[in-house]
Structure 1
Amino acid sequence: MQLRRSLRATLTALPLAGALTAALAMPAGAEPPGIPDPATAQTWLGELKVGPEGSMDGYDREKFPHWSEGADGCNTREAVLKRDGENVEVGSDCYPTSGTWNSPYDGGSWTQPSDVDIDHVVPLAAAWRSGAAQWTQEQREQFANDLEAPQLIAVTDNVNQEKGDQTPDQWMPSETGYHCTYASMWVASKHKYQLTITEAEKGALSTALGSC
Structure 2
Amino acid sequence: MIRESYLASADAAAKLLAHPAVAERWDRPSALTGYTVGGLAGHLAGQVNVVAKVLDGPAPDTDPVTAVEHLLNARWLDAEQDGEVHRGIRASGVQYAQVGAQTLARQTAEVLECLRRELPGQPARRVVQFPWGPPALLLDDLLLNRMMEIVVHLDDLAVSVELPTPEVPAAATDAVIGLLAAVAARRHGPVPVIRALTRTERALETIAAF
Normalised by the length of structure 1, the TM-score is: 0.28
Q: Larger % of helix: which?
A: 2
Normalised by the length of structure 2, the TM-score is: 0.29
Please tell me whether Structure 1 or Structure 2 has the larger radius of gyration of its CA atoms: 2
Q: Larger % of strand: which?
A: 1
